[in-house]
């Protein structure tokens, strides 16, 4: 987002003191929230993994690109959660 007018800034949130007439326009742009794992890590978004085995990024079996996410090996009554 960019602010234009009497203030030019990329701050969000933006604090201003209004002491007279002013023109201020917020220019929003879409932000794509994706993680294609091509960084080789779960680093593009704030992922949280938990359970008996964590999720990880691997390169041996992929559908597209160089990396894919997979769960660690789990047994009966075990979990591997990724949110």
Residue 52 shares a structural domain with residue 19: no
Pair of tokens at residue 27 = 């220019």
Number of independent structural domains in the chain: 2
CA 55 vs CA 4, 32, 39, 78: distances in Å: 43, 22, 15, 13
The burial class, CB within 10 Å (0-12 / 13-18 / 19+), for 37 is buried
Whole-prediction pTM value?
Answer: 0.50
**pLDDT tens for the chain, residues 1 to 83:** 788 998 889 888 889 999 999 999 988 887 666 666 777 887 778 888 889 998 888 888 888 888 888 898 999 999 999 88
Residue 38 shares a structural domain with residue 76: yes
Q: What is the pLDDT of residue 29?
A: 80
Rounded distance, CA 52 to CA 28, Å? 41
Q: What is the pLDDT of residue 30?
A: 77
Residue 5 shares a structural domain with residue 17: yes
The domain in which residue 25 lies consists of 1-31
Residue 38 shares a structural domain with residue 54: yes
Residue 82 shares a structural domain with residue 71: yes
Residue 60 shares a structural domain with residue 42: yes
Residue 49 shares a structural domain with residue 60: yes
Residue 13 shares a structural domain with residue 44: no
Q: What is the pLDDT of residue 36?
A: 65
Q: What is the pLDDT of residue 21?
A: 92
């Amino acid at each position: 987002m960019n602010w234009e007018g009497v203030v030019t800034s990329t701050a969000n949130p933006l604090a201003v003191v209004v002491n007279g007439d002013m023109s201020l326009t917020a220019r929003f742009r879409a932000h794509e929230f994706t993680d294609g794992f091509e960084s080789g890590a779960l680093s593009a978004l704030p992922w949280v993994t938990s359970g008996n085995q964590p999720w990880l990024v691997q390169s041996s079996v992929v559908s597209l690109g160089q990396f894919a996410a997979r769960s660690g090996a789990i047994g009966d009554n075990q979990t591997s959660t990724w949110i």
